[in-house]
Structure 1
Amino acid sequence: MNNLICAFDDVTKSLVRNQLFFMLGWQDVKQRYKRSKVGPFWLTISMGVMILTIGLVFGRIFKTPITEFLPFLTLGLMLWGFIFSCITEGCTSFISSAAIIKQLSVPLPIHVFRVIWRNGVILGHNLIILPLVYGIFMKPVYPIALLSLLGILLLVLNVTWMALLLGVMSSRFRDIPQLVQNLFQVIFYLTPIIWMPHLLPARASTLMLDWNPFYHMLEIVRSPLLGIAPSATSWLVSIAIAIIGWLVSLSVYGICRNKIAYWL
């Protein structure tokens, strides 16, 4: 119980010092694109080209109207890019900040929040594509789209505890980042991102949708923006994962918090 309290205290202190991880995350983005005229918008251009290419090719393969498929694909790829980057970079959040951890006494979750904020900034740049797609296909935005704000909050809560847990584990076991990257390449194809859920036969949908937590986390953000109410199951699964995941993550972090600096 003491470990859990200490872990919660570290997370709270990190959130209070939000200016620190905001600054560090923003500096990461600026440093990555130093002396570039376009800057992080290169990622937006790359994302736009990928969406257009996959949309034209897979839209024909799946015989899905492009006006329906492209907005679905755009949201799926942007949100998946955020999830994938947060979790895979979260694996190395402590490792990449080893010098700071060894020299400065700051709450360790700050380094995880730095990763989440950095990728949130990149997601913000990529969101520029969405109104362009909606404008081209004259797709209306319904009031239900406001539910996506609650969905993105739950999504951020979930990827944050995953990044924290995997960051602790990766500090001790250095093979975990490679394992996670390979695992997420498989999950990408098992999750409806470049294919639409209605294309699955009934038997396969139970395994690939109902038992896929990443599908539910995507749906609570993507569906409202497409004018569709997410199912109660998707909300319940996302909330349950957030609660259980944070309890597990904080417990593991609380046990290992004093050992992380020695593992780096």
Structure 2
Amino acid sequence: MTDRRKTSTDPPVPSATVQAPSTVEQPPTLPHAPSRSFRRAFQDLAQGWRQRPLWGHLGFQDIKQRYRRSVIGPLWITLSTAMTAVALGILYSTLFKTEVPEFLPYVAVGLIVWNFIAGCINEGTEVFITNEGLIKHLPAPLSVHIYRMVWRQSLFFAHNLLVYVVLMVVFPHPLGLATLLAIPGLMLVALNGVWVALLVGIIATRFRDIPPIISSITQLLFFMTPIVWKYDNALLANTPRAQYAELNPFLHYVAVVRDPLLGQPVEPRHWIVVGGITVVGWALALIFLRNYRSRVSYWV
């Protein structure tokens, strides 16, 4: 019989327990910020702002898609605002016994500013819900969807400014360098639109009853805000209830844009109120973004 015993000349059998050499370097561990931190919240806002080509293009596409196959396209935005402003201006100028050349531009500009504000609020409640597919499949910051929505409302505002230009030609107002104050006023309103959409968007994504509630409240506030009426009108100035209009924050937001466009000086209190609300609102929105940013993708 052949001796099958292992001899000293046999090659060594490799062992399965041989360990990797200690000289192999492991990839370094990078510092990682926790998901619930203000650092992550600021990074989301900054990264979203750097993606301006993305949400800028998407905003243009939203308008083109909405008026696809329309003969006059986005000009329907201007015509709709013009017809509403003329109808409301003539009606309420008759009720309040005010001259049409004075009251119609007041109503038109107020309506243009209000449409921007209301658009940021109402569309902000569904900004994450309507972008469910992008949120789940596109690795992008949440702020991209907010910037896209506010940019779209800015384009609507630009279209509606054509109504203002026509009214200034038909009913001239004494305009000057003070009219340029409407630019920082509009930028301040847009800055508030971002935090409002961010805040209500997160809340409405979690609680789906919020959008119709906010829509109803916004419609009610339209009649409580001096847009189609003046709280310093002769018929209202002596009524105590008219003075409560100062408690309506939307009055101040409309004033910082409307007054310069009509050649009127902006009262300092309007800037103070809008600035204070901006600071408080952004602080609250950052807290919500810090705590619930990572949960939005699960709620949509």
Segment of structure 1 superposing worse, 111-120 or 2-11: 2-11
| Runs of 4+ that moved beyond 3 A | none
Q: Displacement of 1:139 after TM fit?
A: 2.2
Find out whether 1:123 has 2:157 as its counterpart: yes
Higher Rg = 2
Task: State the alpha-carbon separation in 1 of the partners of residues 273 and 217 from structure 2.
Answer: 21
Structure 1 residues 220-264: Cα deviation after superposition (integer angstroms, max 9, x where no partner): 111111122111111011011111101100111110011000001
State whether structure 2 residue 242 is matched by structure 1 residue 205.
yes
1:190-235 deviation per Cα after TM superposition (whole angstroms, max 9, x unaligned): 0000001212335223321x21111001101111111221111110
Name whichever of 1-10 and 29-38 sits farther off.
1-10
Within the alignment, does 1:143 sit opposite 2:180 as a pair? no
Tell me, yes or no, if the aligned pair for 2:113 and 2:254 is still in contact at 8 Å.
yes
Equivalence map 1:169-180=2 (5 Å): 169-180=203-214
CA deviation after TM superposition for structure 1 residue 131, in Å = 1.2
CA distance in 1, matches of 2:37, 2:280: 16
Residues paired across the two proteins, number: 263
Residue 48 of structure 2 corresponds to which residue in structure 1? Answer: 14
Q: Does 1:163 align with 2:197?
A: yes
Letter in 2 for 1:263: W
Q: Is the 8 A contact 1:41 1:125 kept in 2?
A: yes
* Cα offsets for 1:131-190 (capped at 9, x unmatched): 111111122322110111111111111121111100000110001110100001110010
SS in 2 for 1:189: helix
CA RMSD of aligned residues (A): 1.3
SS at match of 1:63: coil
Q: Structure 2 matches for 1:11-50, cutoff 5 A? A: 11-50=45-84
Task: Give the equivalent residue in structure 2 for 1:134.
Answer: 168
Contact 1:161–1:249 (CA<8 Å) still a contact in 2? Answer: yes
Letter in 2 for 1:261: S
Give me the whole-angstrom Cα distance separating, in 1, the residues matched to 2:264 and 2:52: 34
Structure 1 residue aligned with 2:7: none
User: Given that residues 3 and 251 in structure 1 are in contact (C-alpha distance below 8 angstroms), is that contact kept between their aligned partners in structure 2?
Assistant: no
Instruction: State the 1:121 CA deviation.
Output: 0.7
1 CA distance for matches of 2:229 and 2:130?
A: 35
Distance across 2 between alignment mates of 1:224 and 1:162: 24
TM-score, length of structure 1 as denominator length: 0.96
Query: Which amino acid is 2:160 matched to?
Result: N
> Paired residue for 1:194?
228
Report if the CA contact (8 A) 1:145-1:225 is conserved: yes
Amino acid across the alignment from 1:206: Q
5+ long unaligned stretches in structure 1: none
User: For residues 14-72 of structure 1, what are the alpha-carbon distances to aligned partners after superposition, in whole Å with 9 as ceiling and x for unaligned?
Assistant: 11111111011111111111111211111211111111111111111110111110111
- Code of the residue aligned with 1:112 in structure 2: it is I
Task: Give the Cα separation in 1 of the matches to 2:242 and 2:41.
Answer: 38
Q: What is the letter of the counterpart of residue 261 of structure 2?
A: L
Say if 1:142 and 1:225, in contact at 8 Å, map to a contact too: no
Percent identity between the aligned chains? 36
Q: Which runs of 5+ in 2 are unaligned?
A: 1-33
